[in-house]
Amino acid sequence: MHVLLIHQAFVSPNDAGGTRHYELARRLVDSGEQFTIVASDLNYLTGKKASGSEQAGANSPSGEDYDGVRVNRAYTYPSLHKSFVWRIVSFLSFMVCSVWTAWKVKNVDLVMGTSPPIFQAISAWVVSVLKWRPFLLEIRDLWPEFAVDMGVLKNPVLIWLARRLERFLYARAKHILVNSPAYRDYLINMGIPAAKISFIANGVDPGMFFVETQRATLRNEFQLQDKFIVTYAGAMGMANNLDVVLVAGKLLEDLPDVHFLMVGDGKDRAKLEVMAKEMGVKNVTFTGSRPKSQMPEVLAESDVCLATLRDIPMFRTTYPNKVFDYMAAARPVVLAIDGVIREVIEKANGGIPVPPGNAQAIADAVRQLHSDRARSQEMGRSAREYVILNFDRNQQALQFGELVGQVGNRRAA
């Protein structure tokens, strides 16, 4: 079985961000299959050249190799973070160029598309038609509903067209894969047969986040040796609602040993740093993005981890990758997100859920965990035990292997 995935924002172990696709692909390769990914030559978080593309070169015939997972880069116009219109231009440029890059990949058995951005799913469908191969569509976020809820997409005509495009792709996919149970319910309510939908949750490799000896690298780098560290790790964009973290930091200035680490990058990072200076927030440090391979050490040096999203209905349907990483690292989670991920934290007894967008509630939760270290550590242990039982990437990879074998009309190894 040779699976071809088109994914503009693919993250390798050398980059920052969620590595779901690399981890699933690597395990498929370990079982004797082939996996090729067509990715952008730009890093999705920073808009700069992706780490591997500078070595291999965009559209390199040899591509890159990550433990047997092949990555071929497609040209993408460098305008991701200029404006909404220019962001669409960047998406469209990848959509066109990725078709050509994917066409050159030989002996493909299954073509997989992933959304968002939805334009790359169009590329995957086109390639599946050209190659006469089955089309597997993965839904990682509900587009365009997320964009509509956030107010990014407002024009009624564009909304109508986007929803038509969404339904077009759902109809033409041989099978649909979702990573949140709420997405499955959404699709069924749209009239898509339940038998056409498979659910494989976001998850984590628990073994990756077991750090026996802490080296305190980040603490030493930023002179935070004796601090109670609260870490946010992930994208810094409009959806993440990180203004409230700065306000929470200000509310906790009476606890001089509490310090927030903002680990990541994105469109709003510069704005947030300016805001922190204007507010006079002294207990928040922006570290910049760190490769996924460094995240186990980063989280091991943290005392509490934080996840936030804006308070909009559609965000109640999502399973954020970062939360599973936090849990695997045995860190209690202050969760400023409602919905299905809150249910996970509550069932795991793995942290303190608070209302989205409520800086005071975030500060109060941190204060509780700071004052009761035994409770904090117990929540971390409980979170790790729960994620091992329910969201282990190794088990998910077996499910994924069975799925691509069935959709590709060949028995998976």
Domain 206-390 has CATH 3.40.50.10800: no
Tokens 């404006």 locate to 83
Q: What pLDDT is attached to residue 289?
A: 87
Query: What is the pLDDT confidence band of residue 113, given thresholds at 50, 70 and 90?
Result: very high
pLDDT value for 181: 94
What are the φ/ψ torsions at residue 241 (nearest 5 degrees)? 55, 50
Strand 69-74 relative to strand 64-66: parallel, antiparallel, unpaired? antiparallel
pTM for this predicted structure: 0.88
Cβ within 8 Å of residue 294, ≥6 positions away? none
- Of the ranges 9-13, 155-159, 283-287, the best mean pLDDT one: 283-287
Range of lowest pLDDT (14-28, 258-272, 310-324) = 14-28
Q: Which residue has the higher pLDDT, 80 or 376?
A: 376
Residue 412 has pLDDT above 70, yes or no: no
At 53 the pLDDT is 53
Stretch 33-49: mean pLDDT, rounded? 86
Structure tokens given for 279? 């507010």
Per residue in 311-369, pLDDT (tens digit) is: 999 999 999 999 999 999 999 999 999 999 999 999 999 999 999 999 999 999 999 99
pLDDT in tens, 151-197: 888 889 989 998 999 999 999 999 999 999 999 999 999 999 999 99
Averaged pLDDT score across all residues of the chain: 91
Query: Which token pair is 115?
Result: 């959304």
pLDDT score of 411: 43
What percentage of the chain exceeds 70 in pLDDT?
95
238 in Cβ contact with 268 (< 8 Å): yes
CATH fourth-level superfamily of 2-203+392-407: Glycogen Phosphorylase B; (3.40.50.2000)
- Convert the pLDDT of each residue in 310-321 to its tens digit: 999 999 999 999
Q: Is 369 exposed, middle or buried (0-12, 13-18, 19+ CB in 10 A)?
A: buried
Q: Average of pLDDT values for 370-381?
A: 96
For the chain, give every residue range classified as CATH 3.40.50.2000.
Answer: 2-203+392-407, 206-390
- Which pLDDT does position 363 carry in this prediction? 98
Alpha carbons within 13 angstroms on the beta-carbon side of residue 391 total 27
